[in-house]
Amino acid sequence: MELRHLRYFVAVAEAAHITRAAERLGIQQPPLSQQIQALERELEVQLLRRLPRGVELTPAGQAFLDEARAILARTEAAVATARRVARGEAGRVGLGFTSSASFHPFVPRLIRAFRAAHPLVELALEESGTVELVDALHHRRIDAAFVRSPVGDAADLAIFPIQQEAMYVALPSGHRLAAATEALPLAALQGETLILYRRPVGPGLHDAIIAACARAGFSPTIGQEAPRMLSTLSLVAAGLGVTLVPASMSRLEAEGVVYCALDTAAELQAPLNLAHRRSEISAAGRAFVALVRRSRAD
């Protein structure tokens, strides 16, 4: 049995006349009659009663008509769904981001814009470190990721730079520098215990901070190392040291933490990048990447 047999049968049932159904289908009446008869033989069921002026459904024919219509409707829906997915209008996008990237206003703005433009696309979000996100990209668990650190030698990945963000110093609220009204020079942190995120999690920023301190003329005293950038703020609030975070994280009101701008002479910035696979990315994933490229932050 083929779908055309179901379409032929539905057309005859709705027209209640084989000749009129043939005209609607654009075929000759004899072949249509033969197809209906072949369908009845295959089912071993009489679907239609032949009348002097047309046909009528048998009880079995009425039941088969209901099912045939449902099958054809599901088939049309399946075709429409496949075409929407191929066009990027439906499907799934796996999107990763580091904890600090999620605080940049560009990221939630893009997610809202994508949801509004592609309401039928499922957006699966995953927060993790850069190394884990790159691994997820390689293994096709996600399609794209907002990251801070360089991703290393990854020829199969494309890195799209979005913005270079200023860095802020996060201090315990009772710290001697907490009342500063001007941007702090990096050298002001000499002798302070510096809290960093573990290098395997964010090697780019970790190394950039160490290098900036060296340019400022001192080697930092590193105390605690946190698994995520967000975790460093909890350690600062506990008075265990100071840390450096992207400016967008200063919007996070953490009790016991004061933020001060860092002097631009430190030449220390936090990049925000979009990493995605160069190939084997879904149409919906390509649509997300295209939206990011069109909406690059100012």
pLDDT score of 74: 94
| Residues lower than pLDDT 50 in the chain | 297-298
Do 257 and 276 reside in the same domain of the chain? no
Separation CA 195–CA 193 (nearest Å)? 7
Q: Write out the two tokens for 104.
A: 């940049």
DSSP run (H or E) holding 85: helix 59-87
Q: Which domain holds residue 260?
A: 166-269
Strand pairing partners for 257?
Answer: 172
pLDDT score of 152: 60
pLDDT score of 298: 46
pLDDT score of 244: 93
pLDDT score of 179: 87
Q: What is the CATH number of the domain that holds 123?
A: 3.40.190.10
Do 156 and 195 reside in the same domain of the chain? no
Q: Do the Cβ atoms of 171 and 177 come closer than 8 Å?
A: yes
Do 284 and 142 reside in the same domain of the chain? yes
Domain boundary among 87, 120, 136: 87
Domain boundary among 38, 55, 87: 87
Chain mean pLDDT for the chain: 89
pLDDT score of 22: 92
Do 62 and 78 reside in the same domain of the chain? yes
Do 75 and 215 reside in the same domain of the chain? no
Do 284 and 199 reside in the same domain of the chain? no
Tell me the C-alpha to C-alpha distance, in Å, between residue 183 and each of 159, 169, 180, 261.
31, 9, 7, 5
Q: What is the CATH number of the domain that holds 64?
A: 1.10.10.10
Q: Write out the two tokens for 95.
A: 């999107």
Q: Write out 217-233 in H/E/C secondary structure.
A: CCCCEEEEEECCHHHHH
pTM of the model: 0.73
pLDDT score of 110: 94
Do 94 and 81 reside in the same domain of the chain? no
Strand pairing partners for 194?
Answer: 222, 242
Do 96 and 80 reside in the same domain of the chain? no
Do 251 and 287 reside in the same domain of the chain? no
Domain boundary among 32, 56, 87: 87
pLDDT score of 278: 87
Do 263 and 233 reside in the same domain of the chain? yes
Separation CA 92–CA 124 (nearest Å)? 7
Do 279 and 157 reside in the same domain of the chain? yes
Q: Write out the two tokens for 128.
A: 């993790």
Tell me the C-alpha to C-alpha distance, in Å, between residue 135 and each of 131, 143, 276.
6, 11, 11
% residues pLDDT > 70 (the chain): 96
Domain count of the fold of the chain? 3
Do 256 and 220 reside in the same domain of the chain? yes
